[in-house]
Structure 1
Amino acid sequence: MKIGIVGGTGDIGEGIALRLAPMYDVIVGSRDEARAQAICECSIGTLKTRGATFHSFKGATNQDAVSCADVVILAIPFKNAIATLEGLDCFEDKIVISPVNPMEKRDHFTFVPPVEGSAALMIRSLLPKEARLCSAFNTIAANKWKALDEELSYSVPVCGDDESAKREVMKIVNSVSKLQAFDAGPLAVSSMVEALTPLLLNIARYNKMHDVGIRFM
């Protein structure tokens, strides 16, 4: 399976790529292809140093990351989602994963959903109807993705309207470290999941904690 990461040179995108590369062919996308290639070379060096085996790991433009992939992860900030997606195509029949959270840092972190109700629902309106969109990975702290010496022992709610796509996304989630995927229902539930991230950030801030996550017992 080929997984393309749009915005793969950001902290979250780079970390996700490192975590997925041992199991999947990974295409790191960026507006700057040279930067994507440089990130991949660095990531390959990191994996080799750790003695890790990995599949294909290459840098590309965001468009190539979409066009060449079976599954596309949108590792982009909410504020850039519209501009990024309006410049891309070839999403038809692909599984698309949104870990995007609409929030702002004011005197505290605040959930600021678009008129559609959630980032995932807004993204669905920007994609062709044939795209198979799910939300996942929303509540994992950016720093944790790249901390390869640490196990990711978190629960990951997955939302989606396409049941077969949701099952595939849950398999991907469960392949990473000790993550455990949970079916959270249709895409309409994604607002509840996205709102957890500013909550977790506030808990971390006011309780002097770091990289707070969730775990269902």
Structure 2
Amino acid sequence: MRVGIIGGTGDIGEGIAMRLSRITDVCVGSRDLSKAQGTCDACLMSAKECGVNCSVKAGTNQEVVEQSDLIILAIPFKHLKTTVESITGWEGKIVVSPVNPMERRESFVYTPPPEGSAALYLQKILPPTTRICTAFNNIAGNRWCDITTELEYSVPVCGDDQEAKQIVMSLVDRISSLKGYDAGPLSSSHIVESITPLLLNIARFNKMKDVGIRFV
């Protein structure tokens, strides 16, 4: 299975690429191909330093969708519509959304679209045969990039396609010490997305770093 990452040049996208490219084939996409190649170079260098293999290549966002079986949208909510609508070929693909609509005011506030969540908004603008899941919503970007440390977090996964959800949870379970959990249908995605501003507020007001969730 090849995993594509759109938005693979930000902290979260690059960190996911670093970790996933050690366990499966990864294609990193960006509007700027040189930036995507920069992420790939970082992945290869990091893997070489650790003495492990790495399978990663750069491409345009369109090439990522065309060449991948599962696509992770590691982009801010404000860029979701323009990015998705500039690409074709989504039909039948598994699309993973770690997107959390939120704003920083006096504190971090969850600001979902009228559809109720970023994932449900994606369901509206993507073809009906696209299989959408939420995952990786509640993990800090710098934790992804700190490749030398274990990620000991729980990852809730929402989705309406049970096969796609199982594939995503199986992928989650292969990354570091993450553990995927079935969090119900896509209509529950607003619950998962809204956890992130809560975690950021806890970190901010209690002078903590990289707050996450873990089910025990």
TM-score range, shorter chain: over 0.9
Partner of 1:11: 11
How far, CA to CA, are the matches of 2:203 and 2:121 in structure 1? Answer: 28
Partner of 1:39: 39
Amino acid at match of 1:69: S
Q: CA deviation at 1:39?
A: 1.9
Considering only aligned residues, what root-mean-square deviation do their CA atoms show, in Å? 0.7
How far, CA to CA, are the matches of 2:148 and 2:40 in structure 1? Answer: 19
Gaps of at least 5 residues in structure 2 are none
TM-score (norm 2): 0.99
Q: CA deviation at 1:24?
A: 0.7
Partner of 1:107: 106
How far, CA to CA, are the matches of 1:201 and 1:52 in structure 2? Answer: 33
Partner of 1:64: 63
Partner of 1:25: 25
How far, CA to CA, are the matches of 2:211 and 2:38 in structure 1? Answer: 30
1:160-214 deviations in whole A, cap 9, x for unaligned? Answer: 0000000000001000000000100000000000000000000000000001000
Q: CA deviation at 1:150?
A: 0.9
How far, CA to CA, are the matches of 2:39 and 2:184 in structure 1? Answer: 35
Choose 95-104 or 39-48, whichever is displaced more: 39-48
1:50-92 deviations in whole A, cap 9, x for unaligned? Answer: 11212x2111111111110000000000111011111011111
Partner of 1:49: 49
Q: CA deviation at 1:126?
A: 1.0
After TM superposition, the runs of 4+ consecutive aligned structure 1 residues lying more than 3 A away are none
Q: CA deviation at 1:35?
A: 1.4
Secondary structure in 2 matching 1:110: strand
How far, CA to CA, are the matches of 1:190 and 1:52 in structure 2? Answer: 35
Task: State whether structure 2 residue 168 is matched by structure 1 residue 182.
Answer: no
How far, CA to CA, are the matches of 1:116 and 1:62 in structure 2? Answer: 25
Secondary structure in 1 matching 2:183: strand
Partner of 1:206: 205
Secondary structure in 1 matching 2:200: helix
Secondary structure in 2 matching 1:185: coil
How far, CA to CA, are the matches of 2:145 and 2:163 in structure 1? Answer: 29
How far, CA to CA, are the matches of 2:92 and 2:172 in structure 1? Answer: 20
Amino acid at match of 2:89: C
> Percent of aligned pairs with the same residue?
56
How far, CA to CA, are the matches of 1:38 and 1:148 in structure 2? Answer: 17
How far, CA to CA, are the matches of 2:125 and 2:15 in structure 1? Answer: 26
Amino acid at match of 2:195: L
Secondary structure in 2 matching 1:45: helix
Partner of 1:81: 80
Amino acid at match of 2:112: P
How far, CA to CA, are the matches of 1:4 and 1:61 in structure 2? Answer: 10
How far, CA to CA, are the matches of 1:39 and 1:143 in structure 2? Answer: 15
Partner of 1:131: 130
How far, CA to CA, are the matches of 2:100 and 2:207 in structure 1? Answer: 22
Secondary structure in 2 matching 1:73: strand
How far, CA to CA, are the matches of 1:117 and 1:3 in structure 2? Answer: 27
